[in-house]
Amino acid sequence: MTTTNPNADAETAMQYLIWALEALEKAGSQEAVHHTRIALEALRKSSASIKSED
């Protein structure tokens, strides 16, 4: 029996955002870093609410 992770898409998106954040920090794009951090935090919050509903 396979269990599905309802947060799988969110976790994948968070990983991509983390990689993007690393690249943006290296590139020195502070505005893009700021927006990426906001997106990552919003995704973490929404992912946490999904976990608490389980």
pLDDT in tens, 9-22: 999 999 999 999 99
What pLDDT, on the 0 to 100 scale, is given for residue 5? 81
Query: Cα(7)–Cα(48) distance, rounded to whole angstroms?
Result: 9
**Residue pLDDT tens, the chain, 54 long:** 556 787 899 999 999 999 999 999 999 999 999 999 999 999 999 888 776 665
DSSP 54: -
What does the block give as tokens for 9? 């898409």
What pLDDT, on the 0 to 100 scale, is given for residue 1? 52
Query: Cα(29)–Cα(48) distance, rounded to whole angstroms?
Result: 28
Domain ranges for the chain, please list them.
8-49
What pLDDT, on the 0 to 100 scale, is given for residue 2? 57
